[in-house]
Structure 1
């Protein structure tokens, strides 16, 4: 293998000089390294700045920019001096651009002008904003049914843009809101709503400073939300236990070198981010927590028999929960043999993890997509809730539930109304605000939108950010479906493959980035807001001169499309597009939880959206926190492939130099992979058993008998510390192997962490 494409030594810890070097390369690659550095140093202003890198809380928001490798890359990637304007598209036909990698497309720079695709020339060509708005409106108004249009939202959208978007779409006549949350944390929302009455986590960032034990489950903070590493490290430093359940050994969950600690950097030191590490099989986490509950209930039985104090919080259980006895019966009826087989852990290991819980007073459990992208994710999360209810670890200081979101405002978008299920209170309030009827029937989520596109019933697709076509399962099927659409519209900062899957009429509309100044026609600067994983809402205002004079904010673009499509009889779109304060006033009238929105968000660090469950108010049908009553699965995917030759369960995940579908670079230094992305991580004993060796090329083939052949050809084997029978690889490259119709029960989330595949010798 060449030096540029090799499997080499992985970093010894997360952060450190590797992070600084990677950041330096990112700044240099942005085209204006000085500008990028100045941007980072000056993100210190009254309105604050929201880092677009992730949704983890920022303890210093509004007063400083906390160093984070992901954040620096996201900011510098946006602040590049490279441009993708009309001249670029005149030089490069779409058919050529389709052959480029995701990385090469985005590294060309910022989109600068509204563009419309010309089928005759196979090129995007410049149009005026009004021509774009009128053209989009004409296509939308041609449809004989508003439900034939799909309106996608990425978590990069602000609260103001998302609220305006959902209002426009509902006035247009549909609740079709396929949203990025459908592909990541939808299972968390469904499970938590059923169990505790709200689809959000219950902790604040300050709770991590007061807990005794953190369970970190199915997540890789070092790559996905690096600011969390400092939180974990601080917890370990003060004596808390941090117990990790993660299928792969990940550097960030072992040790972290703080790039802001000068002495540590000089000495080459690092500090642990966890105290205990366990590697369950893919899909086995529910069995782990069922086993831990079994240990806890056995300890309770023993305490009762010996006349000792209860180990459970019986007062909390009696006052605040429902179905406790039924859950106890279920746990006791679950055999240790089933728990051990599914989890991949021994009884002794599970007992160790449960004894930590018995010894701790205040416990937090965090999780991410390693938990949410399975068939049984909702049940898995409810089992976590069950376990936490046993000792009353919800709704008190230093304890609670923390689903860790990805994109910076994926949670906020849902709060302000991006929801295909059309909540009744929201629709009632919108009708009162606007004085017109709003559709109430359920719309499409991502899985249903894909189905409608493949069936040909969806005719128009508008994307508020993101790279839908590459983020979703069954990439090639979806790409083909896009070419049959009457209308595709992408609102974006950079070019991606989704823009090249053109329908009969296609537009790319360039928007302002988070780092750029957003000023109205009078020159008055506008602020947007976002909500992080801890339900903190804060403001964000950029400082950079926009990449092009033609750029418009997401708010102005949505308002322009809405006005052209619907007119201004019901909503004065021009007025709202000029003043984000007016949008926030409207949000507060429709959603009273925001209170005096404009006043609240201008406080240091913003404000907290009151969380009913954290106040021990349970907005469930029983008005109590519900124990979830679900049997363990008869078989996980891992169990189903045992004995089948060269057959494995695949999980897709990010490389370290990546954020969602955005590829910043070709290295994954935490896993020792450099210059190449087409790799498959596999246990070394499995490599030997199937007759391959490190570096061999294999074809990864889907095994689903649904008439569609799925295959990723020429992927390089990398031996890695992962349980036998489980393999892993990067998305979006491996999304081709994820069937769009195989989704989580109740959640419709893609099962990207439990894909059954076969490894064949590579055929040219």
Structure 2
């Protein structure tokens, strides 16, 4: 483990630092030789889909692409460490609940099903038949199927997700909270309203053609390292890359490709962002309205000169509606308000607009820095407005690109993991399978927590993920889970959620993406959909970590067979050969016609994207502009207005949560955040040096964070964070999650999407009551 220190990182993203990190990961998990072989099979025709992220691979059949993120995920899954029942039973669940996320992750792979023993407060081994019987008994005893919650992680394959939603709907509920609810739900909702489809419209080929790439609220160097390869190539051929992000992130500044001999041997690097705009946290709508306002002015100037228009007037006339309303709103917007709320000057915003106006092919990318805000849906639709006014949707080299995280989060939603299913989809299920699916909308993630908290749900089943760590409002979420009669988690490794349990609890170990899945008809492939709608096969190459592991499709099938003995669905027959599952998917989803044939083509196949074809599946049949006011009454605004003072008691900051570089979602692989200069620790708070000095504190001082939302009815505290000077706008601070999730009220979520507002939390700082033992 690294020594706890703060040391400015001078190098580029990638480079030798990434290679050294890879070597440490392979040695840490004692899989150096095996790990190298495994890595070379990632994203290959006969290999497995990298579980690291949803960024696509060029044809999913090309040469190996180095990715530090993927290495960490693969090494962690292929680890030689085993969390056997005996290893886990050495500690009570109460004791394990006090461990760090990193320590829980380091226990290694689960090997057998576990059941909680309340008398000893420990887990013990249990047979699969008995485990499924316990779940089935609880489910069948519920007064209503709606008292069960079925969570889904984005790592679940298409085949497992399809069977899962089919089982749950035949059981009788649409309670499908998933990780999308907590991250890119505003992208889906916003894009559906703007262009008729909740997915991005671009492919990797478009990145080769774009002459301008906009990046909003995203840190690809840590969260999607393979994206840096596309950005590097674009920058080297002269494309302008404009980054809009509150924090200076090394991956958006410079990148050295570990597969480039010239850069590695020369110590060189490629500049990624041609311009970097450090807006205030939460200033996205103001920023976008300022850019659009300048674009309208530039268009007016072009008309006056008789030169080429900035607006694509032919596209606007043929394909859109609502532009006049947007123009009127933008022209009436006050520059003082735009500058105050965005944190950027009108001159800086004009520069961004001029670059965009001169570009013929523009791609807009964004991450959770856009979506996890009160007005995340509005920010997504303002990005769509920006591109639509220039006709940049449905054009080669241009389009919308929400960059999703989990490797199959988009595919799970395609397969029907959604709490608000369409009537047409339910009608198709009824026609194919002969049962009446539930028609009432189910619970999303926030709704599921509320239901468990209020006693309206008592069984929680999680297909992967780490619900207790990923969710907001930690005290409320944990109390809600602990109120359940039964909690069940399907997982590859022991994590925080397995310590926050109901009166009864099970942990069911499954195969990992890297492992051979052999069923009655031989070795099986699963399929996944990346963030650009490419569907391809994935097959593991490693022997399973334990002979007791089941695949996710098999777990779903056996659970369905135990719970629904009179079902007409041939559950066990389906999982003998996953081609049979894909045949059923093809019958339910028209876009998957010929699924088994198409997915075996080199690189798989791309699902139809109507917006990319300029076919608009909106209510109007046109792409729609949406008007959104600049937010001026958020919890942060109200908290700052109520404070109005100096010193620690009077200053309110906007906290945004981030991942460290040794972290993927809630999985903590290590305690370093190399690019931000943090080593051997996680309880740090990034702050502008002038703000720290204004508080009268030295760099390295320890503080507690206290929630400052004026309408919150409880005291929220996160204790023991070390101040680190960082290039971040004044009035803003940043800290890692899940440590800061306690500060996010359950009631604070995005309008129209109910995604927790984890990127804009009002907080105060106070001197730490105690310093963490590890400090």
**Which TM-score bucket, shorter chain as reference?**
over 0.9
What SS class does the counterpart of residue 72 from structure 1 fall into? helix
Structure 1 match to 2:773: none
Structure 1 match to 2:704: 699
**Residues of 2 paired with 1:115 and 1:581: CA distance?**
31
Structure 1 match to 2:624: 626
Q: 1:730 aligns with which of 736, 758, 761?
A: 736
Q: Which moved more, 1:260-269 or 1:12-21?
A: 260-269
What's the CA shift for 1:145? 0.8
What SS class does the counterpart of residue 401 from structure 1 fall into? strand
Structure 2 match to 1:97: 96
Give runs of aligned pairs for residues 529-568 of structure 1, distance below 5 A. Answer: 529-568=527-566
Structure 2 match to 1:483: 482
Deviations 1:333-364 (A, max 9, x none): 11111111110000000000000111000100
Contact 2:43–2:49 (8 Å) recurs in 1: no
What's the CA shift for 1:11? 4.2
Contact 1:191–1:379 (8 Å) recurs in 2: yes
What SS class does the counterpart of residue 124 from structure 2 fall into? strand
Q: 1:666 aligns with which of 660, 666, 671?
A: 671
Structure 2 match to 1:679: 684
Q: In 2 relative to 1, CA 343–46 (structure 1 residues): closer, same or farther, beyond 3 Å?
A: closer
What SS class does the counterpart of residue 657 from structure 2 fall into? strand
What SS class does the counterpart of residue 502 from structure 1 fall into? coil
Contact 1:43–1:543 (8 Å) recurs in 2: no
1:55 corresponds to 2:66 = no
1:229 corresponds to 2:228 = yes
Structure 2 match to 1:111: 110
Structure 2 match to 1:335: 334
Deviations 1:150-183 (A, max 9, x none): 1000000001111111111111110001100000
What SS class does the counterpart of residue 89 from structure 2 fall into? helix
What's the CA shift for 1:298? 1.2
Contact 1:618–1:625 (8 Å) recurs in 2: yes
Q: 1:569 aligns with which of 567, 570, 594?
A: 567
Contact 2:2–2:672 (8 Å) recurs in 1: no
**Residues of 2 paired with 1:396 and 1:3: CA distance?**
48
**Residues of 2 paired with 1:420 and 1:186: CA distance?**
12
**Residues of 2 paired with 1:253 and 1:45: CA distance?**
28
Structure 2 match to 1:505: 504
1:494 corresponds to 2:499 = no
Contact 1:175–1:444 (8 Å) recurs in 2: yes
TM-score norm. by structure 1 comes to 0.98
1:245 corresponds to 2:244 = yes
Structure 1 match to 2:582: 584
What's the CA shift for 1:63? 3.9
**Residues of 1 paired with 2:697 and 2:284: CA distance?**
30
**Residues of 2 paired with 1:256 and 1:366: CA distance?**
18
Give runs of aligned pairs for residues 700-715 of structure 1, distance below 5 A. Answer: 700-704=705-709, 705-715=711-721
What's the CA shift for 1:65? 3.0
Contact 2:510–2:549 (8 Å) recurs in 1: yes
Structure 1 match to 2:119: 120
**Residues of 1 paired with 2:702 and 2:378: CA distance?**
37
Q: In 2 relative to 1, CA 475–638 (structure 1 residues): closer, same or farther, beyond 3 Å?
A: closer
Deviations 1:424-478 (A, max 9, x none): 2211111111011101111000011111111121101000000001100011221
Structure 1 match to 2:183: 184
Contact 2:42–2:50 (8 Å) recurs in 1: no
Contact 1:701–1:759 (8 Å) recurs in 2: yes
Q: In 2 relative to 1, CA 182–11 (structure 1 residues): closer, same or farther, beyond 3 Å?
A: farther
Q: Which moved more, 1:548-557 or 1:472-481?
A: 472-481
Unaligned stretches of 5+ in structure 2? 771-775
Contact 2:749–2:755 (8 Å) recurs in 1: yes
What SS class does the counterpart of residue 55 from structure 1 fall into? coil
What's the CA shift for 1:302? 2.4
What's the CA shift for 1:637? 5.2
Structure 1 match to 2:722: 716
What's the CA shift for 1:122? 1.1
**Residues of 2 paired with 1:577 and 1:744: CA distance?**
39
**Residues of 2 paired with 1:568 and 1:280: CA distance?**
58
Structure 1 match to 2:759: 753
Q: Which moved more, 1:32-41 or 1:397-406?
A: 32-41
**Residues of 1 paired with 2:308 and 2:601: CA distance?**
45
What SS class does the counterpart of residue 164 from structure 1 fall into? helix
What SS class does the counterpart of residue 91 from structure 1 fall into? coil
Contact 1:282–1:638 (8 Å) recurs in 2: no
Contact 2:520–2:577 (8 Å) recurs in 1: no
Structure 1 match to 2:436: 437
**Residues of 2 paired with 1:240 and 1:305: CA distance?**
29
**Residues of 2 paired with 1:636 and 1:745: CA distance?**
11
**Residues of 2 paired with 1:10 and 1:305: CA distance?**
49
What SS class does the counterpart of residue 52 from structure 2 fall into? coil
**Residues of 2 paired with 1:79 and 1:634: CA distance?**
49
What's the CA shift for 1:97? 1.1
What SS class does the counterpart of residue 653 from structure 2 fall into? strand
Give runs of aligned pairs for residues 78-477 of structure 1, distance below 5 A. Answer: 78-477=77-476
Structure 1 match to 2:8: 9
**Residues of 1 paired with 2:483 and 2:743: CA distance?**
22
What's the CA shift for 1:692? 0.9
Deviations 1:247-305 (A, max 9, x none): 00000000001111123212211111111101000111111111111111112222333
**Residues of 1 paired with 2:691 and 2:463: CA distance?**
43
**Residues of 2 paired with 1:23 and 1:418: CA distance?**
34
1:740 corresponds to 2:746 = yes
Unaligned stretches of 5+ in structure 1? none
What's the CA shift for 1:28? 0.8
What's the CA shift for 1:87? 1.2
**Residues of 1 paired with 2:182 and 2:63: CA distance?**
32
